[in-house]
Amino acid sequence: MTSQAPPGQTLTLCDFSQASEIESWSIVDDRIMGGKSQGQILSTSKGIGLFKGQVSTANNGGFSSVRKPLRANVSDYEFICIKIKGDGKSYQLRLKEKSSDQYSFIQNVKTTGEWEIVELLLSDFYPVFRGRRLSLPNFEGKSLSELAFLIGNKVNESFDFQIDTIYLK
């Protein structure tokens, strides 16, 4: 039996109102394998993280992602919550239990174009490697070593995704 966090207890994983937050994020695009997509992560004057850019399907490409390494014990939490404002497009929230894992656990998030807090059950994250679902159990982890957002909708498109905070609940 997993112990649960007391009601109202949260653990902040990311808060872009902190000036140093932007330094812990990095971009990984399909350019690592010859693609042409290009993303960037910026901090706005309002203390918001802005992940924006262009996805290109040229040269068998088609994705851009932004990642943050971390060390978080998630044993006492059921949900990961993200305060975001997207552009109406779908993004993946990706989690890694161990940094050495080749695969990620993912859930898709369809943005509305408005500020929203999206609560995702950790146990609903499913394992994927290079776009293919793996025959492994859903996330059962006790820790997180990385979180990422990825856009890869198989079309040429610009994107604009704002991140305020990410926390466990």
Condensed to tens digits (0 to 9), the pLDDT of residues 144-169 reads 999 999 999 999 999 999 999 999 99
pLDDT of residue 1: 30
Instruction: Please give the average per-residue pLDDT across 3-30, as a whole number.
Output: 84
* Structural domain spans, the chain: 11-168
Instruction: Please give the average per-residue pLDDT across 112-120, as a whole number.
Output: 97
Residue 120 φ/ψ, nearest 5 degrees: -120, 130
Q: Is the Cα torsion angle 49, 104, 119, 111 positive or negative in sign? A: positive
Instruction: Please give the average per-residue pLDDT across 102-131, as a whole number.
Output: 96
Average pLDDT, the chain: 93
Task: Output 73-77 pairs: Cβ under 8 A, ≥24 positions apart.
Answer: 73/142, 73/143, 74/122, 74/141, 74/142, 74/143, 74/144, 74/168, 75/2, 75/3, 75/142, 75/143, 76/3, 76/4, 76/5, 76/9, 77/4, 77/5, 77/11, 77/122, 77/168, 77/169
Q: Do 158 and 51 touch, CB atoms closer than 8 A? A: no
Percent with pLDDT over 90 in the chain: 88
Q: Alpha-carbon Rg of the chain, whole angstroms?
A: 16
Helices (H), 29-95: none
pLDDT of residue 3: 39
Instruction: Please give the average per-residue pLDDT across 83-112, as a whole number.
Output: 96
Condensed to tens digits (0 to 9), the pLDDT of residues 31-59 reads 988 999 999 999 999 999 999 999 999 99
Condensed to tens digits (0 to 9), the pLDDT of residues 63-83 reads 999 999 999 999 999 999 999
Q: Is the Cα torsion angle 150, 84, 12, 109 positive or negative in sign? A: negative
pLDDT of residue 165: 96
In CATH terms, is domain 11-168 a member of 2.60.120.430?
A: yes
Instruction: Please give the average per-residue pLDDT across 95-116, as a whole number.
Output: 96
